Amino acid sequence: MTACLLAGRPVSAATDIAANAIGGPLGRRLTWVSTQLRLGADPEPTWAALAKDPATAQLSRAMSRAAQSGAPVADVLTRLADDARETAGATAVASARSVGVKAVAPLGLCFLPAFVLLGIIPIIAGLAATIILP
């Protein structure tokens, strides 16, 4: 959408192009929004219809605010995309860090019995032999 807006396309056309590129349920919702905007509907309630879905809630709020304030929509979408990338990066880092924690339990379950059998039991058996058989 941002590339289309920066190229001079209106919001309804940019939304329609993005909807066709995305496809699926999100594409259908964006197609509905672009159709409403093309027909002359008020942008604020039109974009507010997307606020119910968590995936499009931020887009809905940003586009509604841009329609209210008259801010350049491309700048709003650029900030929204940057925030989404930052969130995705933070989520990926958190997932990568949790893998190390999750890998400790299976490794512990595998190596702890071996350590006990090969390290501790021979020492206890040796000590027991010296104490019992003087």
pLDDT digits (tens, 9 = 90+) for 33-69: 999 999 999 988 899 888 888 888 888 988 988 888 8
Domain spans of the chain?
1-71, 73-133
Q: Name the phi and psi angles at 42, rounded to 5.
A: -65, 130
Cβ burial of 96 (10 Å; 0-12, 13-18, 19+) is exposed
At 107, the amino acid letter reads L
The SS3 assignment for 61 reads helix
Q: Is the pTM of this model over 0.75?
A: no
Q: What is the arithmetic mean of pLDDT over 101-126?
A: 87
- CA–chain centroid gap for 60, Å, is 17
Q: Which two tokens stand for residue 4?
A: 């289309």
The model's confidence at residue 134, banded by pLDDT at 50, 70 and 90, is low
Inter-residue contact 45 to 67 (CB < 8 Å)? no
